[in-house]
Structure 1
Amino acid sequence: MNAIVSKNWVLARLYEPDIVIADCRFLLGKPDVGREAYLEAHIPGAVYLDLEKDLSAPICEHGGRHPLPDIDKFVQSLSKAGIGNDTRVVAYDDQGGAMASRLWWLLRYLGHSTVYVMDEGFSAWQKASFPVSAEQKVIVPASFVPHPQVELVVSVEEVKAKLHTAGTMLIDSREAPRYRGEVEPIDPVAGHIPGAINRFWSEGRRADGSWKSPEEQAERFADLSRDDELIVYCGSGVTACPNVLALTEAGFDKVKLYAGSWSDWISYEGNPVATGEEGKQ
């Protein structure tokens, strides 16, 4: 089964006992907006998982702007949300699937495969006149035993070691002007990791905001070799996740996340930086 599910699919399973719906709405730069929106209205029974409090660790010198959460603390968040090893998880947001994809990736990283992202997001759910609620469900804590899939993530040292090596392709998920180094609204250094190609994460969706089909995703990445190791990054490791999801939907099975991403890369003095169209295919 594909990882992207329709809002009708979610509606039909709204009250099935083994499903937990996770509201992941979050607005970068305005950290309280997502939780406030959740408290105002959410899919009935949904729990809220915060990008910076639940799905990331605190910022340090290295690790990027959204470091991967400590596994033990993340497992505590999952337990409080009622997510166990046998739970089917459906994540949604209103940010094009970026935040929901972060939860999707984290759960897969911990060995949990039955996790899905709801297509289109909460606004589309509301527009369809599907039920919403302001009530917060009483959650029975669940037991979640992590089984980390360490092959799904790479460190800055691994990225450095693999620069310009055959069989490895770096994919930068940011908008093209940021990739080229023409603008940089967030991080102190502009540009990209040398050799990286650019595939803006949002191009995984159609004009109406819905996710492209696996076949359409495959067309997006038609120039990439399925034999290559694909290392995906963005600014902080969040919007790289929808690209990882899209590549997975397209049938690529050697996809890894550079979790620290650009903000981690430039935190190390001496790491090379490229600008312009270098590395574009």
Structure 2
Amino acid sequence: MYFNAIILPAAGALISTIRRRAYHTIVNSSWLAEKLANSNEKNLRILHASREGCQDYAEKHIPKSVCFDLKRSQNQNSAYNFMLPESDFFSKYVGNELGIAADDHLVVYDSGTNAPSLELAARVWFTFRYFGHKSVSVLNGGLLNWMKEQNPVTTDQPEVEKRHYTCREQRRLVVTYEEILKNLDEEDQQIIDCRAPNLFRGDTAMSGLSGHIPGAINVPLMRLVDPDSKLILDKDKLISIFEKAGSVICSCNSGIQACGILLILSILGKKDMQLYDGSWTEWSQRADPDNVEVD
């Protein structure tokens, strides 16, 4: 099934909600440039979201940023790549290696190495939210838009001072394979699959079986970001897509792109939403073929 208009509260209510929350969840390049120039911003931490290895960070990054390596921070005991880490590992990684404390305001930006210049930053945003970090923002347009607006980049890497970080897991934000199976029978929640249409239809297989979870709706993340500016579509367009209320589970291939949908729903004031972290990587390897649909 493909989207026309789905899942959010009435448009009138959303507009006021967007105005209240957009400052915190999404920030723009001019806002960040001003904050960087202000020496009083002691608790501001900027994170460069990198898929693996931080090579893109070494080549260029926003001044004063540190690199958050998604591969480095993944769950080391999971059979699947990029799963949410265990809390003990995460607290040591962000505290000791990145110098982050729980009361810092984090601004995460996408490196631009993965279209649509949102998914990596959104994954980092969601990970911190999962571990109870209250103040996390995403830079709209990521590094590509930052440079397009003539803001500086550097190869200098700031010194990191080790800090104590305490995790407070929000397990309600994530659903398991077993909970998805249960939902197939009860149909309490709508599953949004944000992979490319060819993957959703089953034309192409990336792992295991091809197709999608029964009853899922395809809302490709790439269609929610302007291909030229790399900015998230304006709120009126987003409202027109997500205009009906409902409880949502977001899925993709490995739990990364789905966080982009969760970020956008959060901007629009949506609260009743969860991530299927295993996503298609897990489903395609564990599900019975009868629980896979192709179009």
Q: State the TM-score, normalized to the length of structure 1.
A: 0.88
Preserved CA contact (<8 Å) 1:97 1:121 = yes
CA drift of 1:267 comes to 2.1
The code of the aligned residue for 2:277 comes to A
Q: How many residue pairs align between the two structures?
A: 263
Counterpart secondary structure, 1:13 = helix
Preserved CA contact (<8 Å) 2:210 2:284 = no
Aligned counterpart, 1:51: 70
Preserved CA contact (<8 Å) 1:171 1:233 = yes
Question: 1:60 & 1:108 partners in 2: Cα distance?
Answer: 20
CA drift of 1:125 comes to 1.7
Preserved CA contact (<8 Å) 1:42 1:134 = yes
CA RMSD of aligned residues (A): 1.6
**Residues 141 and 253 of structure 1, relative CA distance in 2, 3 Å threshold:** same
The code of the aligned residue for 1:240 comes to A
1:41 aligns with 2:63: no
Aligned counterpart, 2:257: 239
- 5+ long unaligned stretches in structure 2: 1-20
> 4+ runs of 1 displaced by more than 3 Å?
58-61
CA drift of 1:116 comes to 0.8
1:87 aligns with 2:76: no
Counterpart secondary structure, 2:106 = strand
**Residues 59 and 190 of structure 1, relative CA distance in 2, 3 Å threshold:** farther
CA drift of 1:59 comes to 6.9
Question: 1:269 & 1:251 partners in 2: Cα distance?
Answer: 33
Alignment match of 2:85 (pick from 48, 63, 69):
69
Aligned counterpart, 1:22: 47
CA drift of 1:71 comes to 1.4
- 5+ long unaligned stretches in structure 1: 277-281
Deviates more, 1:99-108 or 1:37-46: 37-46
Alignment match of 1:199 (pick from 196, 216, 219):
219
Preserved CA contact (<8 Å) 2:60 2:153 = yes
Kindly, what percent of the aligned residue pairs are identical? 29
Give runs of aligned pairs for residues 201-240 of structure 1, distance below 5 A: 201-208=221-228, 209-222=230-243, 224-225=244-245, 228-240=246-258
Alignment match of 2:166 (pick from 138, 145, 166):
145
Preserved CA contact (<8 Å) 1:59 1:65 = no
Looking at secondary structure, tell me which structure has more helix per residue: 2
CA drift of 1:269 comes to 4.9
CA drift of 1:51 comes to 1.3
Counterpart secondary structure, 1:104 = helix
Alignment match of 1:261 (pick from 266, 269, 279):
279
**Residues 269 and 211 of structure 1, relative CA distance in 2, 3 Å threshold:** closer
The code of the aligned residue for 1:274 comes to E
Question: 2:239 & 2:93 partners in 1: Cα distance?
Answer: 34
The code of the aligned residue for 1:103 comes to V
Counterpart secondary structure, 1:123 = helix
Preserved CA contact (<8 Å) 2:208 2:285 = no
